[in-house]
A and B are shown apart, each in its own frame.
Chain A
Amino acid sequence: MSEPTIVRSTRGSRIAASAVLVLVAAIAAAPWWANSADLRLITEILFFLALASMWNLLAGYAGLISVGQHAYVGLGGYMMFSCVLFWGMNPLWSIPLAGLLAAAVSVPVAWLVFRLKGAYFAIGTWVVAEVFRLLAAQMSSLGGGSGLSIPVSAMRALGGRTERELLIYFTAFALSLGTLLLIWLVLRSRVGLALTAIRDNEVASSSLGVRIGRIKLGVYVLVAALTAMLGALIFVTKLRISPDAAFSMNDWTVFVIFIVVIGGIGTLEGPIIGTLLYFLLREFLADLGAVYLLILGAMAIAIMLVAPRGLWGLIVTKWDFAVFPVGYRVRMPRD
């Protein structure tokens, strides 16, 4: 009798992967089929795809229910402005610096908030974000409470109008899909096995040798760095920054949580479905004003009641299927 083997993809997931590749190619070619307004929309979708996937890694896998990720979006945005205003840098080159700064800042923040558990941790992260916002409002050289715009000269450094739009689009494309790819690779690795175990049961994971504290810290720092890099780029597209916009809990945390929860927390596919649904709703309902937010809230509650594991959770419980497989399947030899 031959030995059983371990496989990491199924026929279904390989077919899905080809479909995803086609889709990615279509997104990459968007500048040739979409107009400026569509490009901006796609860029924004890509941003939220990355933000949601990162929050999912943090909360859905590592169990770190942070409601203060806007701290790092804002930090990245302000880092970009500092680089441009004080050191005359090209706005796009500030992105890696924003990542490094956020990684450095997130370590002492983690030291502080990791002492708190559960709801207290969530509130702690929120307070940290609020402190960041207040600090930003104190910096008069960065516009204080009212904010400021990117100097025209800094944007001209990125080339003419068309060239600039292309450059920003492809940076957003690379950064967002790169983030998704990185998360997928992390989850497929040894660390991913540990994270999936932590997601399901922390006590059991630690008694089986998983170093929970170390892995949580690693995920927190990684997500902080990537969030800040994205934040820097987001404010390149917005051209203007203010403490309220940079550290907006609604924009960078609440909507992101909505996306992850309706899509399916603790799965790679969930945040993707959630992002698409969120933008569909927004395109159709944005004109309704405050009613739009009421509908979003009602939907979130309804989905939590009917499908606590989100829309993708409904699919996964019915069929053992993954578009981005991270697991291990045993194939028994036929005898």
Chain B
Amino acid sequence: MALLGLDSLRKSYGALAVTQDFSLQVEAGDLVGILGPNGAGKTTLFNLITGTVRPDSGRVQFDGRDVTTVDASQRCHMGIARSFQVPHPFVGMTVYENILVGATFGRGAGDPRRRALDVMQQTGMAARANTLAGSLTLLDRKRLEMARALAADPKLLLLDEIAGGLTDSECVSLLETIRDIHATGVTIIWIEHVVHALMSVAKRLVVVDFGRKVIEGVPAEVMASSAVKSIYMGEDALD
């Protein structure tokens, strides 16, 4: 039984179909990378998985339950947490308080204050503990997104473009953090444009374009496929 099952999802905004007949199975313990050009519908996919947006048709299954009509907060209780591509920090709260929200209202059991402290150390945010999230730099805001989601103790963690703009050493430490999280048994789906970062941790890649799944498989094979070349380099590249 897959942890997450997406079954023929469709979502349109007016005439614009952002998700078309999208199906995907993610097994527990997997680390799936999602690639695709801007506007391909990757973030909408996350919105559909977390319940921020409801599909026009199709079903979302999580942990053996049909959660298509379950709202975002309850899906979080069940074990789905995400980071937002455009950071949504609680600007008037400190870094610690931001993380505490996830620890308090997420799936986690036990003392939320303790858990928030642990996550803050794990994600390297401890030095900014008492800084208002509104005064963080973009990079720190992205890191906070991940920390907050992690504090909710998810079974499935969705990361939306968190490596963009990082220096090489920052990227290495981010990859280390992601490997650590994955090693604790968290299933991860990661949308990322920084292909080398994604390639180094993903066990499987899914390529999305025009709201459809173009190809899915082992990273090296997917990257070598003609479908990916045509999306990123145009049809001519195939000649």
Q: Which residues of A contact B (CB under 8 A)?
A: 3-4, 6, 190, 193-194, 196-197, 199-201, 203-212, 266, 320, 327-330, 332
Determine whether the beta carbon of B129 is less than 8 Å from that of A332: yes
Task: Decide: A328 and B100 in contact? CB cutoff 8 A.
Answer: yes
Interface size on B, residues (CB 8 A): 38
Instruction: Determine which residue in B76, B82, B105, B120 has the highest number of CB atoms from chain A within 10 A of its CB, and name it.
Output: B105
Shortest distance in angstroms between A157's beta carbon and chain B's nearest beta carbon? 48
Q: Are A208 and B81 in contact (CB under 8 A)?
A: yes
Knowing A329-B130, A330-B129, say if A208 contacts B102 (CB, 8 Å).
Answer: yes
Asked if B97 lies at the interface with its beta carbon under 8 angstroms from chain A, I say yes
B97 touches A327 (CB 8 A): yes
User: Which of B5-13, B34-42, B83-91, B202-210 participates in binding chain A?
Assistant: B83-91
- Which 8 residue pairs are nearest across A and B when measured between Cβ atoms? A209-B105, A200-B90, A209-B76, A204-B88, A330-B129, A206-B72, A209-B106, A208-B102
A/B interface sample: 29 pairs, CB < 8 A: A3-B117, A190-B104, A193-B97, A194-B104, A194-B105, A197-B90, A197-B93, A200-B90, A201-B88, A203-B52, A205-B105, A207-B51, A207-B76, A207-B84, A208-B73, A208-B81, A209-B76, A209-B77, A209-B102, A209-B106, A209-B107, A211-B73, A212-B73, A327-B93, A327-B97, A328-B113, A329-B130, A330-B96, A332-B129
Q: Which residue of B lies closest to A199 (CB)?
A: B92
Residues in B whose Cβ lies below 8 Å from that of A210: 73, 101, 105
- Chain B's closest residue to A327 (CB) is B97
Residue B126 interfacial (CB < 8 Å): yes
B26 at the interface (CB under 8 A from A): no
The residue among B50, B104, B148 with the most chain A CB atoms within 10 A of its own CB is B104
- Is the CB–CB distance between B81 and A327 below 8 Å? no
Which chain B positions have C-beta within 8 A of A328? Answer: 94, 96-97, 100, 113
Inter-chain contact B130/A320, CB cutoff 8 Å: yes
Give the chain A neighbours of B92 by CB distance below 8 A: 196, 199-200, 266
Known: A200-B91, A332-B129. A205 touches B97 (CB 8 A): no
C-beta contact mask, B115-156 vs A, less than 8 Å → 1, else 0? Answer: 001001000001001101000000000000000110010000
Contact A208 B96 (CB under 8 A): no
CB nearest to B87 among chain A residues: A204
A207 to B49, CA, bound (A): 11
Interchain nearest-CB distance for A273 vs B (Å): 17
Interfacial chain B residues near A212, Cβ < 8 Å: 73
Cross-chain contact of B101 among A208, A266, A320 (Cβ < 8 A) = A208
B235 at the interface (CB under 8 A from A): no
State whether the Cβ of B27 lies closer than 8 Å to any Cβ in chain A: no
Q: Which interface residue of A6, A208, A327, A330 has the most chain B CB atoms within 10 A?
A: A208
Instruction: Tell me the minimal C-beta distance from A6 to chain B in angstroms.
Output: 5
Q: Is residue B71 within 8 Å, beta carbon to beta carbon, of the partner chain?
A: yes
Quick one: which of A199, A204, A329, A332 contacts B84, CB cutoff 8 A? Answer: A204
- CB pair B71–A206 under 8 Å, yes or no, is yes
B116 to chain A, nearest CB (A): 8
A206 touches B73 (CB 8 A): yes
Contacts of B149 in A (CB 8 A): 208
- Smallest beta-carbon distance B130→chain A, Å: 5
- Would A193 and B101 be within 8 Å (CB), given that A203-B52, A204-B84, A208-B149 are in contact? yes
Which of chain B's residues have a CB closer than 8 A to the CB of A4? 117, 126, 129
Nearest CB in chain A: distance from B127 CB, A: 9
CB closest chain-B residue, reference A309? B92
What is the distance, in angstroms, from B152's C-beta to the closest C-beta of chain A?
6
Q: Check B130–A330 contact: CB distance below 8 A.
A: yes
